Amino acid sequence: MKYALSAVALALAAPAFAQSSVTVYGIVDVYGAYAKGAATQVREGSGGLQGSRIGFKGTEDLGDGISAQFVLEGGINVDTGGSAQGGALFGRQAYGAIKAPFGTFSAGRQYSSIYYAATDFSEFSNVAVGASTAVIGGFANGYEPTAGSSATATPPASGSALNGGPDRVNNSVKYTSPSYAGFVGTLMYGAGEVTGQTNENHLIDVSGRYTNYGLDAIVSFVQDKAQGATEAASTDVNVITVAANYGFDAFHVTGGYLKVDDKRSLDLGGQGFWVGGDYRLGANLFRVQYVQNKPEHVASSTTNAYGIGYQYDFSKRTAFYTALSRFQNGSGAGSKGLGRYNQSIPAGLTTAGDNDVTEFALGVRHAF
């Protein structure tokens, strides 16, 4: 009886397997770090080179150049075994899409253009190791354009995302054009889903990206609104991002600029930029980057971050990496709570008068 049931199960499953094109993939990235500020800290973390994750993606050919696609991708904190992105099961990405010759329409939780600019064009991505683009932010009462505005629903949340954002956008629909001589345009709308407040709770993202002749460049504009109980608890910002990467031989140079314009009367905007480069010698990759974060409403609040890194690729999937970083926070940044680090500053690591941080980290990344 057992064998008969197994045969029936296989017979029923066979058509599904024949029509299925599903891939399981992931990254396991764990590191250790030593940080010294006013005090010292030793910690273990997840996602120092790339965010740890597990994902499922699939596609089905519908004919005439049309296909159905999906991605379900969840972030993992390898050091604790918990879910990243505020605990969401598929907090990195979760969407379905229809791809056609005239473009791709997708809906769900998706990356915005800010995510691509801060990740693809940065030597240290937007992770919690190195002089990364995660340093840029802390505007408009805590708005974090590259690292995610809020891990909970606490303002200043993105206008369409209670979990992260605006780098990842919940309740979103997106159109991505085909490539025209290397140029791809995107238009995204994130619905705030607040009855009677459509204009006060939404995210609109327009971007263009050009990739050709060794150059990769992106320009984007994001309007992000979230209505709170008071103006101070609301978000109303425009974010402009420009970034580029140019490669020649074994060298790459990278850089970008991001500006947050706070449209509220509080006017707590700011800007940041980064510039870096890398050189590959066989399995060895050397990288360097400088990042500046500058709130515009507080004097002497600029953060300057300097980082050097080294990566050794054991294979296409497994790499060892290390980074040495220095974060110099202005005196105004320390006294006003605007001091920056590549993650949230642990309590006690800095003080108002001693708010610089030096960090050394090393880790291993394995992709499957």
Domain ranges for the chain, please list them: 26-367
- To the nearest 10°, the Cα dihedral for 188, 47, 278, 289? 80
Q: How far apart are CA 334 and CA 171, in angstroms?
A: 37
In the numeric block, which tokens belong to residue 6?
A: 């197994």
Question: How many residues in the chain?
Answer: 368
Per-residue pLDDT at 157:
85
pLDDT (0 to 100) of residue 336: 84
Rg (CA), the chain: 22
Quick one: what percent of the chain has pLDDT higher than 90? 83
pTM of the model: 0.91
**What value does the mean pLDDT take over residues 286-300?**
96
Band (pLDDT 50/70/90 cuts) for residue 156 is confident
Please determine, for residue 162, whether its predicted confidence score (pLDDT) is greater than 90.
Answer: no
d(CA 165, CA 224): 10
Q: pLDDT band at 337, cuts 50/70/90?
A: confident
Distance separating alpha carbons of residues 44 and 48, to the nearest angstrom = 10
User: Please, which pLDDT band fits residue 152 given cuts at 50, 70 and 90?
Assistant: low
pLDDT value for 7 = 40
Query: What's the pLDDT at 69?
Result: 97
pLDDT the model gives residue 167: 94
- The CATH code belonging to domain 26-367 is 2.40.160.10
Q: Is the pLDDT of residue 107 over 70?
A: yes
pLDDT digits 0-9 by tens, 49-94: 999 999 999 999 999 999 999 999 999 999 999 999 988 999 999 9
Q: Is the predicted pLDDT of residue 4 greater than 80, yes or no? A: no
- The average pLDDT across 226-252 equals 95
Q: How far apart are CA 92 and CA 75, in angstroms?
A: 6
User: What distances in angstroms separate CA 48 from CA 110, 131, 341, one per listed residue?
Assistant: 22, 11, 14
- In angstroms, the CA 78 to CA 45 distance is 7
| 229-245 per-residue burial string, b: 16 or more CB within 10 A, e: under 16 | eeeeebbbbbbebbbbb
Q: Per mean pLDDT, which range of 39-53, 325-339, 350-364 is the poorest?
A: 325-339
- Residue 331 main-chain phi, psi, to 5 deg: -60, -35
Predicted confidence band at 143 (pLDDT cuts at 50, 70, 90)?
very high
When pLDDT is averaged across residues 267-295 and rounded to a whole number, the result is: 98
Cβ(225)–Cβ(201) below 8 Å: yes
Secondary structure E strands in the chain: 22-36, 40-46, 53-63, 66-77, 82-83, 93-100, 103-111, 168-176, 183-191, 202-212, 215-226, 235-248, 251-262, 270-281, 284-295, 303-313, 318-329, 357-367
Residue 8, token pair as written in the block:
């029936």
Tokens (6 digits) for 183: 């140029």
Of 187, 162, 189, give the one whose Cα is nearest residue 176. 187
Q: What is the pLDDT of residue 165?
A: 80
